[in-house]
Amino acid sequence: MIGLIAHNALLISVAVIAFGAIVAPFAIRSGRREWLQLTYGAVYTNFVLVSLATALMIVALVTHDFSVSYVAAVGSRSTPLLFTVISLWGALEGSILFWAWVLALYAAAVVWFHRDRPGNLVPYAAMTMLAVAGFFALLLAGPADPFVPVWPVPADGPGPNTLLQNHVLMAVHPPLLYLGYVGMTVPFAFAIGAILSNEASSNDWAILSRRWMLASWAFLGAAIIAGMWWSYEVLGWGGYWAWDPVENASFLPWLTATAYLHSVMVQERRNMLRLWTLNLCVATFVLTILGTFLTRSGILSSVHAFTTGTIGYYFLAFIAVVLVATLVLVAGNSERIRATGNLGGVASRETVFLLNNLFLTAVMLTVLVGTLYPLVAEAIRGVKVSVGEPFFNRMAVPAMVALIFLMGVGPSLPWGSTTVAEARRRMIAPAIGAAILGAIGVLAGARGMYAILAFAFVGYAVVGNLREYWIGMRARHNAHGEGWGTALLRLIRGNRRRYGGYVAHIGVLFVALGITASSIFRSEREATLLPGETLTVAEHTVRLKSVWGREEPQRSVIGATLDVLGKDGEVIGTVEPRMNYYHVSDQPVPTPDVRSSLRGDLYVNLSAFEPNGAHATVKVIVEPLVPWIWFGGLVMVVGAVIGMFHRGRRTRVPPAPVASAPLPEPRVMETVP
């Protein structure tokens, strides 16, 4: 019954979407703008219908309605409630349904917030989003239908993939990723809308879509970090990034989105890079679809690839349609879109932004080549290969280290131009930061050039960004006698985008610091211990206490209890790495135990045990500064939130009496919904 209602809701949504998308161009061409309400109505109706289907799926999962094919495939009576609900995105059909729902939500939100904007940008953007929604609605109606009736109804099901029901981060990483991935549809829709409505030669559409891009960028960044964390906490290898194709698939659109967030500022300030910015919107969207193709088609073997069905061909066809359609549109209008502005001097912020875009694009292309190469090699030469980590590390790390440096240079250079002497003066404080952190890195044992440079540049950029806060706060403090706290709050409130950006920079720098330190200073040892025996790694000692087993409804758990010893041999804590045997799989899921502090992690994994509990083999890894990666991700999101909720009114900071103190830049006029 549930399946039938939901299936019909999805079928109706196909018709609603098609109707809404077709009406829009007629309404605009014929000048009957009141007809546009039909398009907007279709967007809202689609949201209601897909929400209904998604809600019914959750009901079916929770009530164990095994007559619904998706529930029969991923449900199980023994799975805890939380993992039952989140198995909504634990397999192919459910994840496409969830995707369609997030897209319907975004489309409804865009129409709701921008419906009163004059011009044809929003109607065409709504039409574009409906077209994309149509693709997913068609998938749900046919090849990825989650509501196929099952007869006879099974008494129980296998439960979700065991790797996906082992950690609570599975409730966090996928929804964030969908919010990020799907959100990239909005800037793409605005880009297409801008071309179709002849607004691409103004900057309004880019400013309008920036907030949506910023939100999606933050979601995607948080999702990548959460995915790294999941990999770290569940897979038991003590790492968080392996340049695996599915990781790369999430990283690629994040790179182009980051490039967009910077190039759009150049477009706004200097009337430049207009075509480039538009292309970044398109590229970001195409990369999200490509990523979905890579991860969902089963072409790559991974925890993300669910089936080896025909769904991949639909995605390939969709990518082809999107590429051809946008190429025709962009090429046909490129003369009009082309920007008119000029660059300022060499030592200016726009130069840094150009370099930033170049490096981000170069990293993106490198990772893209490395990710697609195995597919090409197999198709052309018939050999099965994978591209090893050394390639990615050698190619991408230098550019990323350069990007860290630019993160520190950009904020301290003004728009337009500056004198060399002034630029040099502004680099003194960050250079001291670079010297300090670089020296700390060398003293700690960093030897490689890129490792030392990474430390130094993180130091440079942290000071470079904090200095902007300091200058602004000091100006307010001196001019108005504001307390430092008030000055900080008012400074941020006066230009949320700018100061939010600096916070996001700090977040990325924390991530960079954590990655650098944990990959250089990682030490690990594996040993078989009898109870009472100890293992010492990088001044951390653990002592095996016992090996035990426990039965739980959906799994059997084998664990080892180890004492963590302090400097004088006293017990300062315990760790319990486990191995979870789910009843549906013959392969256990490792569950390492991680003891975190600001200085780093003590990571203990149980790799083997003797059936009679006589001994256990454990791997102990000491990884400095890993928690900084997770914390940096949070700071990044905070920065994005600050930047997102900027207000549209013009505020000017009164001039400070101290002439030499550079003022925070006055805000530019913005059109805001």
Partner 1 sequence: MNRKWVLGGAAVILGVFGWLTFGGLEKNVVFFLTPQELLAKGDAGVGVPVRLGGQVKPGSMTWDAKTLDLRFTVTDGARDVQVHSTGAPPQMFRDGMGVIVEGRYGSGGVFQATSLMVKHSNEYRAPEPGEEAHEKYKTLIEQSAP
Binding site for partner 1 (CB under 8 A): 157-159, 161-163, 342-343, 345-346, 351, 354, 358-359, 361-362, 365-366, 369-370, 373, 377, 383-391, 394-395, 399, 526-528, 547-551, 556, 558, 579, 581, 584-588, 607-613, 615, 617, 619
Structure tokens at 230: 């999941």
Q: How far apart are CA 480 and CA 493, in angstroms?
A: 16
CB 160 → partner 1: shortest distance, Å? 10
336 versus 394: smaller Cβ distance to partner 1? 394
| 36 vs 354, beta carbon nearer partner 1 | 354
Paired tokens of 336: 């009009």
632 and 218 in contact (C-beta within 8 Å)?
no
CA dist 522 and 508 (Å) reads 21
Residues 6+ apart with CB under 8 A from 25: 124, 127
List b or e across 298-311, with b for residues whose CB sees 16 or more CB atoms inside 10 angstroms: bbbeebbbbeeeeb
**Contact at 8 Å (CB) between 275 and 248?**
no
Q: Which is nearer to partner 1, 101 or 276 (CB)?
A: 276
In the complex, minimum distance from the CB of residue 599 to partner 1, in angstroms, rounded to a whole number? 27
Q: How far is the CB of 391 from partner 1 (least distance, A)?
A: 4
CB of 227 to partner 1, least distance (A): 18
Go through the chain and tell me how many residues it has. Answer: 673
Residue 587 CB, shortest distance to partner 1, in Å, is: 5
**Least distance to partner 1 from the beta carbon of 354, Å?**
6
Contact 454, 511 (CB under 8 A): no
Query: Least Å distance between CB 422 and partner 1?
Result: 18
The answer for residues whose C-beta is within 8 angstroms of residue 357's C-beta and 6 or more apart is 259, 262, 263, 273, 276
List Cβ neighbours of 304 (8 Å cut-off, separation of 6 or more). 246, 295, 296
The 3-state DSSP class for residue 624 equals strand
How far is Cα 436 from Cα 458, in angstroms, rounded to an integer? 10
What is the nearest approach in angstroms of partner 1 to the Cβ of residue 548?
Answer: 4
Q: Identify the bridge partners of residue 602 per DSSP, sorted by sequence position.
A: 595, 622
Take residue 76 and report the two structure tokens written for it.
């199980």
Closest distance between partner 1 and the C-beta of residue 184, in Å? Answer: 23
Q: What are 153's two structure tokens?
A: 């109804």
Nearer to partner 1, 531 or 613 (CB): 613
For partner 1, the closer of residues 391 and 450 by Cβ is 391
Residue closer to partner 1 (CB basis): 164 or 427:
164
**Which residue, 379 or 443, has its beta carbon nearer to partner 1?**
379
* Residue 16 near residue 49, CB atoms below 8 Å: yes
Please state the φ and ψ torsions of residue 541, each to the nearest 5 degrees.
Answer: -120, 135
Q: Give 197 or 271: the residue with its C-beta nearer to partner 1.
A: 271
CB closer to partner 1, 446 vs 529: 529
Q: β-strands 555-565, 578-582: how paired? A: antiparallel
Residue among 317 and 369 whose Cβ is closer to partner 1: 369
CA distance 463 to 430: 5
β-pair partners for 296: none
Rounded distance, CA 453 to CA 407, Å?
A: 14
Task: Using the minimum distance from each CB to partner 1, give the nearer residue, 391 or 631.
Answer: 391
Residue 518 CB, shortest distance to partner 1, in Å, is: 19
Closest distance between partner 1 and the C-beta of residue 307, in Å? 9
